[in-house]
């Protein structure tokens, strides 16, 4: 495990922020970090997918998620009073300041692993953005309304592949089932209520993650049954802590790759 006891930089003092807008900013940073970190993982499939057509498909999904993150970061930076822009969030934050769940930071496995992860994450995003489109905040509602069309397509892509692999050959079914079991310990964290999301939901700004568990699970289980797959056994352990900045070992390596150019050449432009 990564050393989680390292001191982390104190946040810049929020000048214009009110006491209540910092938790809502934290909530948005969590959503944006999920999107950006998963965009980074999906981009790794370029040249590595089973076909060049699948490189393109996963690359497109990655870019959709990148766009969602880019829309949310500057707004979070204005809400928390720091004025940080997208690069400030993406390129110079240390590991303890990232609020994404562990699911999206895990290393790229085989193609079935990715389809299992994409199925859960896109089903989660469909339910999330459908509700966020009714947010009391116009910016959040607007970002969500645009994202809904994108994430429905992501869910469709994952669904088609999970059905083909599950209801395919003995080998493809065995590997798809194994992938679902490997992803299972990371699912519950998507639905864990942290302080920021409780406050964001209470004000009508955000959505309570635990409210998404039932509809998301139902969506995924419907796909699994169509794919002749079993719902995975209850996992013996569960990931937690991502929303508080406590991450698993792959996160440090991911950030090193994501950030090293920007950190080696601060302020560089082209």
Partner 1 sequence: MSGGSDAVAPSSERSWPLWEVFVRGKRGLSHVHVGSLHAPDAELALRNARDVYTRRQEGVSLWVVRADDITASSPDEKDSFFDPAADKIYRHPTFYDVPEDVEYL
Q: Is 60 in the site for partner 1 (CB under 8 A)?
A: yes
Q: How many other β-carbons are positioned within 10 Å of the β-carbon of residue 13?
A: 8
CB of 21 to partner 1, least distance (A): 36
C-alpha 236 chain-centroid distance:
23
Per-residue tokens: 186: 């990371």
Give the residue, chosen from 3, 15, 53, 236, that forms a contact with partner 1 under the rule CB under 8 A. 53
- Write b or e for each residue in 117-139: b if 16 or more Cβ atoms lie within 10 A of its Cβ, otherwise e: bbbbbbbbbbbbbbbbbebebee
Q: Is 66 in the site for partner 1 (CB under 8 A)?
A: no
Q: What's the Cα-to-Cα distance from 51 to each of 57, 111, 192, 249, rounded to whole Å?
A: 10, 11, 36, 29
Say how many Å lie between the first and final Cα of the chain, rounded.
37
Q: Is 264 in the site for partner 1 (CB under 8 A)?
A: no
Per-residue tokens: 168: 């395919």
Per-residue tokens: 7: 């001191």
CB of 50 to partner 1, least distance (A): 6
The site that binds partner 1 (CB under 8 A) totals a number of residues, namely 12
For partner 1, which is the closer residue by CB, 70 or 93? 70
Q: Is 50 in the site for partner 1 (CB under 8 A)?
A: yes
Per-residue tokens: 236: 């013996």
For partner 1, which is the closer residue by CB, 50 or 83? 50
CB of 183 to partner 1, least distance (A): 22
Near partner 1 in 148-177, by CB under 8 A: 156-157, 160, 164
Stretch that binds partner 1, among 2-10, 30-38, 51-59, 121-129 (CB under 8 A): 51-59
For partner 1, which is the closer residue by CB, 159 or 239? 159
Tell me how far apart the alpha carbons of residues 139 and 28 are, in angstroms, rounded to a whole number: 11
Q: Would you tell me which residues interact with partner 1 (CB under 8 A)?
A: 50-54, 56-57, 60, 156-157, 160, 164
């Amino acid at each position: 495990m990564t050393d989680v006891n390292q001191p982390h930089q104190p946040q810049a003092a929020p000048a214009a922020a009110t006491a209540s807008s910092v938790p809502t900013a934290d909530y948005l940073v969590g959503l944006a970090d999920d999107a950006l970190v998963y965009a980074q993982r999906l981009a790794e499939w370029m040249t590595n997918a089973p076909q060049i057509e699948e490189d393109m498909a996963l690359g497109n999904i990655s870019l959709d998620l990148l766009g969602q993150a880019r829309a949310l970061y500057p707004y979070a930076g204005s809400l928390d009073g720091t004025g940080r822009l997208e690069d400030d969030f993406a390129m110079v934050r240390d590991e303890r300041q990232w609020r994404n769940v562990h699911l999206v930071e895990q290393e790229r496995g085989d193609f079935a692993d990715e389809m299992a992860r994409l199925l859960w994450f896109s089903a989660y995003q469909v339910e999330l953005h459908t509700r966020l489109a009714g947010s009391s905040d116009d910016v959040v509602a607007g970002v969500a309304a645009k994202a809904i069309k994108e994430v429905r397509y992501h869910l469709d892509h994952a669904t088609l592949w999970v059905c083909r692999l599950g209801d395919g050959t003995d080998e493809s079914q065995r590997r798809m089932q194994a992938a679902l079991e490997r992803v299972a310990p990371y699912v519950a964290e998507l639905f864990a209520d942290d302080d920021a999301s409780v406050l964001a939901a209470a004000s009508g700004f955000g959505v309570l993650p635990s409210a998404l568990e039932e509809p998301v699970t139902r969506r995924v289980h419907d796909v699994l049954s169509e794919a002749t797959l079993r719902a995975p056994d209850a996992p013996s352990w569960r990931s937690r802590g991502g929303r508080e900045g406590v991450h698993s070992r792959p996160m440090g390596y991911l950030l090193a790759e994501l950030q090293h150019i920007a950190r080696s050449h601060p302020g560089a432009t082209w």
